[in-house]
């Protein structure tokens, strides 16, 4: 993970928890191709790094990310967008198998909001503002906004935000279940890292299975989702960590998971 990135800072402030900070302050972390390529690269390396069990993704105090880069997008033609399958690489975030905690302060707009919604657990500071302002640019959300926002806040609110471009503040996002916690600005990273550290103390195998099972609820009808969950549940009895976790409980000691 020694690669130098121009638009990201990558650090491991807590054992087993990687912190990725979007770092393109001149454009409020607008997500240009280079930045997204770097994010793709670091997620791929992190996926294969057994030392890392959980990732926190954050931005700056002023902006998590103000959207896809408008200056870069402006002159794209339909044919370019179609041939390159513009934005298809954004699926990489969804394919990441370790828990991804989003920590948002300031603006999370357009593609920035969509990246935030693609994380598994979203924490926000009280200054966070979420929005899908694409309608003001003559486009619509293209990174999952029309699909994920409705699942998070319901149709009426999602339509209102997507059709008007209005922003939603942190407290409302919390009340609607879009974010799991709202904390003071200075508490945002410490709290996100604390959640990450707690997750990282579990077995990597059951963490991965839990994420996979919860995400299946987005895709499957209930009967299939329940079947999928049960299959994963059964499979965990083939792991050393299941034996360790249950033995530790019975022996009244702390489990020492080997991620095996």
In the complex, the residues that contact ligand HXC under the rule CB under 6 A are 27-28, 30, 66-71, 87, 107, 109-111, 114, 133-134, 137, 141-143
Min dist. Cβ of residue 55 to ligand HXC (A):
20
HSE-CB of 27 using CA atoms within 13 angstroms: 15
> Judged by CB, which is closer to ligand HXC: 105, or 206?
105
Closest CA to 235 of 208, 198, 254, 217: 208
> Judged by CB, which is closer to ligand HXC: 35, or 54?
35
Q: Which entry of 38, 134, 191, 229 is annotated as an active-site residue? A: 134
Q: Active-site residue 103, yes or no?
A: no
Closest CA to 55 of 173, 211, 174: 211
Min dist. Cβ of residue 29 to ligand HXC (A):
8
Min dist. Cβ of residue 119 to ligand HXC (A):
15
> Judged by CB, which is closer to ligand HXC: 99, or 110?
110
Q: Active-site residue 95, yes or no?
A: no
Token couple for 93: 């975030």
Q: Active-site residue 172, yes or no?
A: no
Q: Please list, in sequence order, all residues whose beta carbon lies within 8 angstroms of the beta carbon of residue 113, skipping any fewer than 6 positions away.
A: 67, 130, 131, 132, 145, 149
Q: Please list, in sequence order, all residues whose beta carbon lies within 8 angstroms of the beta carbon of residue 179, skipping any fewer than 6 positions away.
A: 104, 122, 123, 124, 128, 170, 173
Q: Active-site residue 144, yes or no?
A: no
Four-residue CA torsion sign, 115, 118, 119, 124: positive
> Judged by CB, which is closer to ligand HXC: 62, or 151?
62
Min dist. Cβ of residue 133 to ligand HXC (A):
4
Helix, strand, or coil (residue 57):
strand
Q: Which residue is nearest to ligand HXC (CB)?
A: 110
Q: Which entry of 111, 144, 145, 196 is annotated as an active-site residue? A: 111
Residues tagged active-site = 68, 111, 114, 134
């Amino acid at each position: 993970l020694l690669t130098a990135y121009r638009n990201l800072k990558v650090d491991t402030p807590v054992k087993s928890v990687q912190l990725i900070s979007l770092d393109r302050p001149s454009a409020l972390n607008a997500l240009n191709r280079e930045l997204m390529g770097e994010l793709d690269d670091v997620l791929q390396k992190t996926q294969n790094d057994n030392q890392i069990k959980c990732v926190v993704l954050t931005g700056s105090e002023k902006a998590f990310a103000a959207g896809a880069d408008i200056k870069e997008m402006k002159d794209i033609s339909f044919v370019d967008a179609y041939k390159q399958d513009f934005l298809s690489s954004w699926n990489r975030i969804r394919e990441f198998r370790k828990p991804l905690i989003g920590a948002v302060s300031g603006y999370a707009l357009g593609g920035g909001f969509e990246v935030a919604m693609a994380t598994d657990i979203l924490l926000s500071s009280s200054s966070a503002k979420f929005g899908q302002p694409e309608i003001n640019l003559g486009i619509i959300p293209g990174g999952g906004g029309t699909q994920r926002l409705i699942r998070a806040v319901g149709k009426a609110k999602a339509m209102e935000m997507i059709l008007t471009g209005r922003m939603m503040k942190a407290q409302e996002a919390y009340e609607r279940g879009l974010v799991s916690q709202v904390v003071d600005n200075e508490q945002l990273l410490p709290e996100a890292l604390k959640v990450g550290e707690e997750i990282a103390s579990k077995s990597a195998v059951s963490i991965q299975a839990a994420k996979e099972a919860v995400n299946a609820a987005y895709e499957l009808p209930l009967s299939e989702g329940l079947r999928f969950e049960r299959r994963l549940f059964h499979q965990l009895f083939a792991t050393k960590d299941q034996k360790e976790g249950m033995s530790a409980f019975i022996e009244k000691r702390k489990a020492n998971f080997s991620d095996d």
